[in-house]
Amino acid sequence: MLRTGGVAVFPTETVYGVGADIRDAAAVSRVFALKNRESSQPLMAHCASPVQMLEYVTEVPEWVQPLINRFWPGPLALIFRSTDRVPPVVTGGGRTIGIRMVGHPVARDLVEELGAPVAGTSANLHGEPATSRFDAINPKLLRQADVALDSGLCGADVPSTVLDVTCDPPRVLRLGAVSVQDIEAVVGRVLVRPQPLIPSP
């Protein structure tokens, strides 16, 4: 379904997500329409392995590798500078992209089978809370998606932590499942952005 421009609802280890093939700009645009999401708000790229992300980021700084080794797969999203292979609709017109390796086995199998990251966000309408329960997803969103993978309870309603590694020191853009203390134990001091972003998986 994703290979032919479809949109999928899928579980992650944080909350349910909704997304499309990162390579398909038209399909990604449908994700924004389904959620009533502002096009300026970037989506997250969900990858199945660190290798899979390499064609979508310009570089992975050497000091970032310990973070990947420690927290992936898992709920830590890293902000990198994006390559031209990432459609502008994914990044909200910016030059950076948030990527994480998903820990939920269903999501990881989905991305592996697709052969490319899934660009997505939480499976909720704009202004509604994200959820880790399939039966709590808004029926309107489910009806508009092309496929929905029901894995029951998938997480604890805590979003992924978002860490910008394009700056030094790195900056936490959203507090989430991975604590600042755990990140600092790996890379040293980090800055914390005052306002959290809208939750997404």
Model pTM score: 0.93
| Three-state secondary structure call for residue 138 | coil
pLDDT tens digits for range 139-178: 999 999 999 999 999 998 999 999 999 998 999 999 999 9
Distance from C-alpha of 78 to C-alpha of 185, rounded to nearest angstrom: 16
pLDDT tens digits for range 43-71: 999 999 999 999 999 999 999 999 999 99
Residue 158 confidence (pLDDT): 92
Residue 193 confidence (pLDDT): 81
Residue 54 confidence (pLDDT): 96
| Three-state secondary structure call for residue 97 | strand
Q: Is the pLDDT reported for residue 199 higher than 70?
A: no
pLDDT tens digits for range 92-102: 999 999 999 99
Mean pLDDT of the chain: 94
Residue 197 confidence (pLDDT): 45
What's CA 131's distance to the chain center, in Å? 15
Residues 120 and 6 sit within 8 Å (Cβ to Cβ): no
Q: Which long-range contacts (CB under 8 A, 24 or more apart) does 164-173 make?
A: 164/79, 164/96, 165/61, 165/64, 165/67, 165/78, 165/79, 165/80, 166/79, 166/80, 166/81, 166/96, 173/79, 173/197
Q: Is the pLDDT reported for residue 10 higher than 60?
A: yes
Residue 194 confidence (pLDDT): 55
| Domain covering 2-192 in this structure, CATH number | 3.90.870.10
Each domain of the chain, given as residue ranges in start order, spans 2-192
The helix or strand, by DSSP H or E, that contains position 192, with its residue range, turns out to be: strand 191-192
